Structure 1
Amino acid sequence: MSSSGLLILSQPLSHVTRNLPHYLTELSKLVTKTAYIHVQPGLIATPCSSKDPSELFNFIQEPLTLDVRRIVKDVYVSSVKFCQNLDVKVLVGHFGKPGIKYPKYCFFDPCGFVLVDSEVREEEKFIELLKEQFGIKDDCKILQQLFECDTEEKKLKLDDETSEVIQQYGHTVLGGTFDRLHVGHKILLTEGCILGTSELTVGVTDGQVNDKKTLRELIEPVEERVAVVKQFLTEIKPSLDYNVVPIYDVYGPTITDQSMNFIVLSDETRKGGAMVNEKRQDLGMNKLDECVIELVEDLQHSEYEENKVSSSSLRKRLLGTLYNPIKEKDGLNTTPYIIGLTGGIASGKSSVCKRLELLGAKIVDCDKLGHKAYIKGSPGFDKLVKEFGEQVIGENGEIDRKQLGKIVFGDKDCLQKLNSLIWPEIANLAEQQILEFKNDNCDVVILDAAVLLEANWDQMCHEVWTTIVPQQEAIKRIVERNNLTGEQAEQRVKSQISNSDRVNKANVILCTLWEYDYTQQQVEKAWQLLQDRLPK
């Protein structure tokens, strides 16, 4: 097997369509990572007497036809079913102005082999051309193990393939989130490539425009998404000039660049395309011609995911998995294995904690330990009285938490001082309880702490897990649960560290936004995967 391979399909398109399942299944047996697919009927021709290798094979550009556009989409749609483990890229640099030699491809992952659907009679010369046009490895081998139609069928079908040539445009444009590039994205981007002759501009959404996206905290950084889009485009069609930029609204550069003349949309972005054209016309710019790409059905989706292939479904599949790698920490015993569980107010942390307890974990409740850290006779009690005076002592002789709250919550410096006094005391109590669980031979302990990261208690844990819900959902829950106004609830949410900060520091992400059963599925998945990571 090889990490990447090149599949060359030179049979008539009707034959290719019929045998795509076979082609892609064979490819999945040979490739572990990236599959480049080159579709060009008649490429492998019968050798002639010429000594020029390029004349033995049809390495020239082909006209862009409806059949070509259809087969490109068919390949991507079929790949979802027959080789979903591979990063499939359909090459389209050879479709355009006919009769000239097409540009050289440059793969980021050079191919270890070439799989073809026709007999190659001049194999050495063919490999020589492949090295020149596709930059394949010197030790690359040609594998010829696919179905081949007979000569009469080939001649008939090739003669019949005279589909109408498609109009192309100088400067095409499209936009999207492009998070975890999937086949829907690839079809959209490829349309922009094959319909463009000079330049393609791609807007990659970022900032507030992504706020309503499902699990927006799990969207990859815009720099990574821009880089992935650029790499994909330059591999499938190296001859275009690409301008891939972050955008922060529906328009991006479409309302400043008059050279654009074509926009590629998906079913979901039709409205955005209409807004772009309306704005361009208001500004006295030309209206963009457009085409709309249909959504691709996701054959693997669960009941809690969308029917179409989507980034939101891919992000949902990350819930409960190991999202960020685990970093070893000095001074931690291997047992018990400590999970630091955190989450913002109304994020469902307590519910998740109870579910983990039912699965066999022991719980250290830092909120309860916080109350113990205040009791009379404890070091924490003495420190608080020394710092804030006897005014914080209630009639019962204990710390009056309401009075203490009045002092610290309106003063950031006082609150910081309170935390610096009490957090170490809570940590000491937590360590004592963990030691007790260790003596009872407990395998997994959950350190349940809303301020786990702020207090730096994550250093006591082997892993950090966090629960998240969108800000508006948290506000809604607080209003319903605590009988507060929306403004009061929002202030509480914004006073904490953000979901993004928690996600960046967490190893496992859980979201309680949806049905009870879906949260349970996430927790059970996380627990099952944890068993494989526990020290043996």
Structure 2
Amino acid sequence: MFSTGILVLTSPLQTLPLRIAPVLSSAAQLVDRTLYVHLHPGLNLGSAVQPRPVFIPPVVELSTLITRLYSNAADVCGHLDVRVLLTNIRACGGSTTPNTPFPTPHHLFHSPEVVLTDFAPQDSLQPHEVTQYLEKYTCCCYACKPNIPLVLLQPQLLKQQEKEDCLMNEEKKAEPLETYSDVVVGGTFDRLHGAHKTLLSISCLLASRRIVIGVCDRAMLKKKVLKELIEPYSVRVQKLQEFLKDTKPSLQVEIVPLEDPFGVSVVDPQLKCIVVSEETKKGGEAVNRKRLENGLPALVLHEILLLKDIHRNEIEEEKISSSSLRSRLLGTLLRPPKDSSHLPPRPYVIGLTGGSGSGKSSIAKQLEALGAVWIDCDKLGHEVYQLGGDAYHRVLREFGSEILNKDKTINRRALGKKVFGNQERLKCLTDIVWPEIAKLVMKRISQARDEGKQVCVVDAAVLLEAGWTDLVHEVWVTIIPEEEAVLRITERDGVSTEDALHRLQSQWSDGKQVEHANVVLSTLWEPEVTQKQVLKAWSLLQERIEQKPEGL
């Protein structure tokens, strides 16, 4: 198995679409990370003369082929990072056009370890000559290590496909694709996937000089599903730069933050074309109205197709989308657990936290049903305030007897009014209470260890604020959109919307909590969906526990 490979596609443009899926399936058996695709339809590696790279003119069929290639890749080898290379796709003609698109071999971001091709030798004596030609051809195009392995892929096509191939082999005149000097495109580009790559690749195909990319940031992310799991802007930009440098290094690339629906598209006079999908076409039309208002010519709207997601589940969109990919992260390990060598290996302790109304208690109950010991820190908080205890007397001395009920117990609502909106007084209270709760947590964990329990779940809204992460092996965070949390709080506690918002704003934001999370869960959807997340998280947790022997 190789980490990175180059696939040189040589089938004629008319038949190539039918061969993509089986060829990709074959390639995926040899490459497990990055698969570069070099397009040279009609390349003959079996001729008597060494073939050389040439410029291929951009035609409509190439645009369709790229869309199909990324769609098939998502279906049959979704684990691979597939990238279509366009260095050799350019309008021919003119004295300034060099004889070859590769004056020097192009250095790809990931160094190729194997070269594959769909070219089929005509007889049994030809493979040796074909591989020799393939090596020389590929090394003219891309920087490859000496004696790089070469593989001839010969996928078995269905008889029906072969019949269609025969029909499609009839000569057809390719339709030229109009290109533009400057092309603009926008998006979130979170976790770069096949639909993004289609959009970017076709934009590169259309652009002859410059591509401008608006990347959603800040205000443009507020309404995104599971926005807390969106990669940081800097990470998304870095991945875009890497992809575009591989795809078409001759282009001038400008990446700018997009904090409103228009960005530079309505003020840049050099732009000629905007690439949209059927879903964003209205946005492109709105851009043109703004440009006309600004005294600028309208842009050509080039519309591409959305890619269907055959792997979608009941909460995901029909198209391939970043929100679907983010939903698939729920319940998985987002980052490795920190060093917990100071803790006993058993029981394995999960710190479960989340904002008010996020549904963490319902998740804790499900984990308890699966065999975990549920340690509810809210209940432990009530124990800390019990009459006669150390914390009871310290709180009473600090906040006065007016916080007491008639039976001398602490009235937590009255105490809450004393500290609400006063950070200094609140800290004074938490400095008393939080260490006492932590002691009770450690006591419950010790009891679970004595009982031979394997997993404990510490359910604590203030897990992160209180600095209790040293008590747990992993941090799990439950998240929910603010508007949904407000709705739940008002219905559950009978408080006003304003009070619910104040409560949420006094807590760590979901985004801040996710920065510390090993696992993220969400109760946004139906209970059955949450249950599937919990079961997935529990199953993966058991695998991690098994890999960490009790004696270590």
Under a length normalisation based on structure 1, what TM-score does the superposition of the two structures give?
0.94
- Show the 5 A alignment for 1:248-287: 248-287=259-298
1:145 aligned onto 2:153: yes
1:148 CA drift (Å): 11
1:19 aligned onto 2:13: no
- Matching residue's letter, 1:73: T
Could you tell me which residue of structure 2 aligns to residue 116 of structure 1? 117
Change (3 A) 1:212 1:239: same
Q: Which of 181, 184, 203 is the equivalent residue of 2:195?
A: 184
- Give CA-to-partner distance per residue, 1:212-269, whole Å, 9 cap, x none: 1110100011111111111111111111111122211111111221100000011221
Equivalent residues of 1:12, 1:157 under 8 A apart: no
- Matching residue's letter, 1:437: A
Q: Give the secondary structure class of the aligned counterpart of 1:257.
A: coil
Q: CA separation in 2, counterparts of 1:483 and 1:386? A: 32
Change (3 A) 1:123 1:428: closer
Q: CA separation in 1, counterparts of 2:404 and 2:491? A: 33
1:42 CA drift (Å): 2.7
- Matching residue's letter, 2:145: K
- Show the 5 A alignment for 1:131-280: 131-146=139-154, 160-280=171-291
Could you tell me which residue of structure 1 aligns to residue 372 of structure 2? 361
The alignment covers a number of residue pairs equal to: 527
Q: CA separation in 2, counterparts of 1:244 and 1:132? A: 30
- Matching residue's letter, 2:421: G
- Give CA-to-partner distance per residue, 1:87-114, whole Å, 9 cap, x none: 1111122111226411453211111111
Q: CA separation in 2, counterparts of 1:46 and 1:400? A: 88
Q: CA separation in 2, counterparts of 1:403 and 1:329? A: 39
1:386 CA drift (Å): 2.7
Q: CA separation in 2, counterparts of 1:461 and 1:147? A: 51
Equivalent residues of 1:44, 1:58 under 8 A apart: no
Q: Give the secondary structure class of the aligned counterpart of 1:186.
A: helix
Q: CA separation in 2, counterparts of 1:154 and 1:452? A: 63
Q: Which of 108, 111, 127 is the equivalent residue of 2:135?
A: 127
1:74 aligned onto 2:97: no
Q: CA separation in 2, counterparts of 1:405 and 1:17? A: 67
1:154 CA drift (Å): 11
Q: CA separation in 2, counterparts of 1:18 and 1:393? A: 79
Q: Give the secondary structure class of the aligned counterpart of 2:271.
A: coil
Q: Give the secondary structure class of the aligned counterpart of 1:14.
A: coil
Q: Give the secondary structure class of the aligned counterpart of 2:29.
A: helix
Q: Which of 361, 382, 404 is the equivalent residue of 1:350?
A: 361
Equivalent residues of 2:13, 2:42 under 8 A apart: no
Deviating more after overlay: 326-335 vs 255-264? 326-335
Q: Give the secondary structure class of the aligned counterpart of 2:515.
A: helix
Change (3 A) 1:377 1:19: same
Structure 1: which 5+ residue stretches go unaligned?
50-55
- Show the 5 A alignment for 1:293-442: 293-442=304-453
Q: CA separation in 1, counterparts of 2:288 and 2:307? A: 26
Could you tell me which residue of structure 2 aligns to residue 447 of structure 1? 458
- Give CA-to-partner distance per residue, 1:41-90, whole Å, 9 cap, x none: 233366567xxxxxx32411111111211111111111122222211111
Could you tell me which residue of structure 1 aligns to residue 108 of structure 2? 107
Q: CA separation in 2, counterparts of 1:39 and 1:231? A: 20
Could you tell me which residue of structure 2 aligns to residue 90 of structure 1? 84
Q: CA separation in 2, counterparts of 1:530 and 1:321? A: 9
Q: CA separation in 2, counterparts of 1:148 and 1:132? A: 30
Equivalent residues of 2:352, 2:459 under 8 A apart: yes
Change (3 A) 1:147 1:404: closer
- Give CA-to-partner distance per residue, 1:92-138, whole Å, 9 cap, x none: 22111226411453211111111122347365465234223111222
Q: Give the secondary structure class of the aligned counterpart of 2:275.
A: strand
Q: CA separation in 1, counterparts of 2:69 and 2:443? A: 60
Equivalent residues of 2:221, 2:227 under 8 A apart: yes
Q: Which of 49, 52, 59 is the equivalent residue of 1:65?
A: 59
- Give CA-to-partner distance per residue, 1:10-67, whole Å, 9 cap, x none: 1212222222222111100110111111121233366567xxxxxx324111111112
Equivalent residues of 1:42, 1:158 under 8 A apart: no
Equivalent residues of 2:53, 2:140 under 8 A apart: no
Change (3 A) 1:5 1:394: same
Could you tell me which residue of structure 2 aligns to residue 4 of structure 1? 4
Q: Give the secondary structure class of the aligned counterpart of 1:369.
A: helix
Could you tell me which residue of structure 2 aligns to residue 484 of structure 1? 495
Q: CA separation in 2, counterparts of 1:251 and 1:94? A: 32
1:398 CA drift (Å): 2.3
Could you tell me which residue of structure 2 aligns to residue 502 of structure 1? 513
- Matching residue's letter, 1:6: I
Could you tell me which residue of structure 2 aligns to residue 52 of structure 1? none
Deviating more after overlay: 77-86 vs 355-364? 77-86
Q: CA separation in 2, counterparts of 1:304 and 1:385? A: 50
Deviating more after overlay: 406-415 vs 95-104? 95-104
Could you tell me which residue of structure 2 aligns to residue 53 of structure 1? none
Equivalent residues of 1:172, 1:260 under 8 A apart: yes
- Root-mean-square deviation (CA, aligned residues, Å) is 2.1
- Matching residue's letter, 1:283: N
Q: Give the secondary structure class of the aligned counterpart of 1:268.
A: coil
1:337 CA drift (Å): 1.0
Deviating more after overlay: 87-96 vs 219-228? 87-96
Q: Which of 517, 528, 533 is the equivalent residue of 1:517?
A: 528
- Matching residue's letter, 1:131: C
Q: CA separation in 2, counterparts of 1:155 and 1:284? A: 53
Q: CA separation in 2, counterparts of 1:145 and 1:431? A: 60
- Give CA-to-partner distance per residue, 1:395-428, whole Å, 9 cap, x none: 3222232332222113210011100111001111
Equivalent residues of 1:263, 1:288 under 8 A apart: yes
1:159 CA drift (Å): 8.0
Equivalent residues of 1:174, 1:202 under 8 A apart: yes
Deviating more after overlay: 486-495 vs 138-147? 138-147
Change (3 A) 1:155 1:530: closer
Change (3 A) 1:158 1:170: farther
Q: CA separation in 2, counterparts of 1:24 and 1:97? A: 28
Could you tell me which residue of structure 1 aligns to residue 34 of structure 2? 34
Q: Give the secondary structure class of the aligned counterpart of 1:8.
A: strand
Deviating more after overlay: 137-146 vs 258-267? 137-146
- Matching residue's letter, 1:511: S
1:490 CA drift (Å): 1.3
Identity of aligned residues (%): 39
1:484 CA drift (Å): 2.2
Q: Give the secondary structure class of the aligned counterpart of 2:521.
A: strand
- Give CA-to-partner distance per residue, 1:420-452, whole Å, 9 cap, x none: 111001111111122111111111111111111
Could you tell me which residue of structure 2 aligns to residue 532 of structure 1? 543
Equivalent residues of 1:41, 1:158 under 8 A apart: no
Q: Give the secondary structure class of the aligned counterpart of 1:160.
A: coil
Q: CA separation in 2, counterparts of 1:477 and 1:158? A: 62
Equivalent residues of 1:11, 1:148 under 8 A apart: no
Under a length normalisation based on structure 2, what TM-score does the superposition of the two structures give?
0.91
Change (3 A) 1:122 1:307: closer
